[in-house]
Structure 1
């Protein structure tokens, strides 16, 4: 078995456990210490293919953990200016994941997206024996925009090392979609599985085409093209848009369907994020709801959007602070080819929520 770090073990534990447990271990740097076999033995919900992967493919487990960590970082970037900033403090985060709110929907989606992205990338980099570059498929010709300027009249072919997103998709599905029994009132399972899929599709459905020119003296008589995943920042941006337009839903009487709440609302599609409960306002610290509050947060006194002091400080006002930070200064270019800088202490004015 390949050893995993504490943070990877903690993240792995998240992916395989039910929602009322994963909040305890979602944070990076979890104190959980056990080997992969122990996780598999103690997590009784593992079954079938999940258990097989846990036991026989620890290198896949390692990439799953990297993907979850990638999702954590992107979540914290996308929510950096919001009242809830994707904090990973266990005492708050566990409560967030116990609720069917918008924020939980984003966490599940971005984590599932991180897993498909990390596993697929590992395949393309030759780091996994189970996969490699994508096998060339019988796609139609790429668009002229994808091929590049001067594409008219030049030959092209599918080749290179395309990303095997189908392999990454399958591994993400196996690890993220917990095997739960679906009852008539199991709206939580339906919501979590839907949001997991939305995250994966934010990667799979937005593959881009890259091409490389071949020919003497830059003649570009032949272009080789392949499919690559979108940059993960694009994935985060796309899921944040879905977060802003998330659908509130309720469970159908058959226990297998979700129904949008409200009149004349179209059903959410597979790429939409869904939730069933309203979020707290996150203004005050509240362990019961998982709100860390916004007291002490740095805000932008001139902005009118979500990072502005009026919204972030919830109308409580802000105080001005002067802090000293170390920055590069007096930079000079030395031939060839080094830029050397000195370190200077710079005073900055910050606005901090009361």
Structure 2
């Protein structure tokens, strides 16, 4: 891990929750902090378009920070029932990111996707002066949705399509910061590949028909980003099917490990080292262990007590807490609720 990354973890930028300080810094492999002001104060260490953006377009850097936070929140949602639950505890999270394991691949991909998503969304919302709706002048017309469509119908781009290309480019500038060559060549290739996999947002086309009696003589279409939860779901599928790779003799290529394994495509996640089991706490590997984690005693999946507790068993505790109940709306315009005591039995890993 570069020395500057440790510096990022130790700094305390104002207005930034401590659990996010290390994420963007380590994810881009350069001395960036999650706080946009701190990022640009480090501009002397940045080069090329990164430094230019800090000097001329700090509002884009702010969206980069929002996107990184979005990615980590989605990581925590997708991994909430797994032995490693994407904890953002600095001492442990940094250790995870020093390894080339599947979990690291997902963090890099979802963070790069979050940055691309946040910048693109800011464009569509009119929050950035540098971008807006997607330019459609030179784009080929969309194809009919089915063979049953009316022959001779006209198709054209319109509406306010999301400018995903702008978000893609800004994510690439910040997340693909140059890394040191030499011994880290393979590590660099792995990280850059996973960044790219995350940026390949699953765009969809939405259309609206025009014509008498819904004849659809003209269809106006535009590009739209999916909800970020959909991006997280797709990347989790890629995580489950991630490919193990090794470096080629030329130091510039990655080769899949094992026989009869197809080379990973651009959207596949890749890794080079096996993950620890994350059953017990281990600072060297970044594992917090699963002792005390809540599990589902009746589930047979990854949230079940057998798997989550690593077959150590579990205990049950009864807790009582209060929540709002019997809420009523009173004209006008107040909602009044009572407090009810709820008793719940929790299963906790030994």
- Bin for the TM-score computed over the shorter chain: 0.7 to 0.9
Residues 336/6 of structure 1: CA separation in 2 closer, same or farther (3 Å cut):
closer
In the TM superposition, residue 58 of structure 1 has moved relative to its aligned partner by 0.7
In the TM superposition, residue 224 of structure 1 has moved relative to its aligned partner by 2.8
In the TM superposition, residue 345 of structure 1 has moved relative to its aligned partner by 1.9
Residues 335/210 of structure 1: CA separation in 2 closer, same or farther (3 Å cut):
farther
1:74 corresponding residue in structure 2 = 74
After TM superposition, the structure 1 stretch with the greater mean CA deviation from structure 2, 112-121 or 343-352, is: 343-352
Q: Measure the CA separation in 2 of the matches of 1:82 and 1:243.
A: 13
After TM superposition, the structure 1 stretch with the greater mean CA deviation from structure 2, 322-331 or 126-135, is: 322-331
Per-residue CA deviations over 1:150-181 (Å, capped at 9, x if unaligned) read 97477553211100111111111110002124
In the TM superposition, residue 330 of structure 1 has moved relative to its aligned partner by 1.9
Q: Measure the CA separation in 1 of the matches of 2:27 and 2:251.
A: 24
In the TM superposition, residue 290 of structure 1 has moved relative to its aligned partner by 0.4
The answer as to 2:300 corresponding to 1:304 is yes
1:179 corresponding residue in structure 2 = 178
Residues 102/16 of structure 1: CA separation in 2 closer, same or farther (3 Å cut):
closer
1:345 corresponding residue in structure 2 = 341
Residues 128/236 of structure 1: CA separation in 2 closer, same or farther (3 Å cut):
same
Q: 8 Å contact 1:11–1:65 — kept in the other structure?
A: no
The answer as to 2:25 corresponding to 1:13 is yes
State the number of aligned residues.
Answer: 333
1:161 corresponding residue in structure 2 = 160
The answer as to 2:204 corresponding to 1:208 is yes
Q: What pairs up with 1:118-129 in 2 under 5 angstroms?
A: 118-129=118-129
Q: 8 Å contact 1:320–1:350 — kept in the other structure?
A: yes
2:9 corresponding residue in structure 1 = none
Residues 210/330 of structure 1: CA separation in 2 closer, same or farther (3 Å cut):
same
Q: Secondary structure at the match of 2:205?
A: strand
Q: Secondary structure at the match of 1:114?
A: helix
The answer as to 2:327 corresponding to 1:327 is no
Q: What pairs up with 1:219-258 in 2 under 5 angstroms?
A: 222-258=218-254
Q: Measure the CA separation in 2 of the matches of 1:211 and 1:40.
A: 43
Q: Secondary structure at the match of 1:6?
A: coil
The answer as to 2:43 corresponding to 1:40 is yes
Q: Measure the CA separation in 2 of the matches of 1:277 and 1:226.
A: 41
TM-score computed with the length of structure 1 as normaliser: 0.85
Tell me, which stretches of 5 or more residues in structure 1 are unaligned?
27-31
Q: 8 Å contact 2:176–2:195 — kept in the other structure?
A: yes
In the TM superposition, residue 38 of structure 1 has moved relative to its aligned partner by 2.2
Q: Secondary structure at the match of 2:182?
A: coil
Q: Secondary structure at the match of 1:186?
A: helix
Q: Secondary structure at the match of 1:144?
A: coil
Q: 8 Å contact 2:26–2:94 — kept in the other structure?
A: no
1:29 corresponding residue in structure 2 = none
- Aligned Cα RMSD in Å? 2.9
The answer as to 2:100 corresponding to 1:87 is no
